[in-house]
Structure 1
Amino acid sequence: MDYRRTYRSAAIAFADLVSRIPPAALDGPGLGEWTLRELLGHTVSSALRQVPTVLADRAPTLLVPAPEAYFALARLAPADLVAAARKASTDDARATGATLGDDPADAVSGYIGKATAALAGVGDDDLVATPAGGMRVADWLPTRTFELVVHASDAAVAAGLPIAFDHDTLASTAALAARTAVAVGQGVPILRALTGRAPLPTSFSVV
Structure 2
Amino acid sequence: MDYRRTYRSAAIVFADLVSRIPLDRLDGPGLGEWTLRDLLGHTVSSALRQVPTVLADPAPVLVIPAAEAYFGMARTAPPAMVAAAHQASTEDARKTGAALGDQPATVVSGFIGQATAALASAADEDLVATAAGGMRVRDWLPTRTFELVVHASDAAAAAGVPVEFDFETIAESAALAARIAAATGSGLPALRALTGRGPLPSGFSVV
TM range (shorter): over 0.9
| TM-score of the pair, normalised by structure 2 | 0.99
State whether structure 2 residue 186 is matched by structure 1 residue 186.
yes
Separation in 2 of the partners of 1:153 and 1:102?
21
Separation in 2 of the partners of 1:109 and 1:73?
31
Separation in 1 of the partners of 2:18 and 2:101?
12
Deviations 1:8-37 (A, max 9, x none): 000000000000011100001100010000
Q: Which residue of 1 aligns with 2:60?
A: 60
Shift of 1:203: 1.0
Q: Percent identity?
A: 76
Separation in 2 of the partners of 1:22 and 1:198?
39
| TM-score of the pair, normalised by structure 1 | 0.99
Aligned AA (1:61): V
Q: Which residue of 2 aligns with 1:92?
A: 92
Shift of 1:202: 1.1
SS of the residue corresponding to residue 181 of structure 2 reads: helix
Aligned AA (1:68): E
Q: Which residue of 2 aligns with 1:124?
A: 124
SS of the residue corresponding to residue 163 of structure 1 reads: coil
Separation in 1 of the partners of 2:115 and 2:54?
10
State whether structure 2 residue 140 is matched by structure 1 residue 140.
yes
Moved over 2 A (4+): none
Q: Which residue of 1 aligns with 2:37?
A: 37
Separation in 2 of the partners of 1:34 and 1:72?
24
Separation in 2 of the partners of 1:136 and 1:95?
29
Number of residue-to-residue matches in the alignment: 207
Q: What stretches of structure 1 of length at least 5 have no aligned partner?
A: none
Q: Which residue of 2 aligns with 1:76?
A: 76
SS of the residue corresponding to residue 83 of structure 1 reads: helix
Q: Which residue of 2 aligns with 1:15?
A: 15
Q: Which residue of 1 aligns with 2:177?
A: 177
Aligned AA (1:17): L
Q: Which residue of 1 aligns with 2:155?
A: 155
Aligned AA (2:192): R
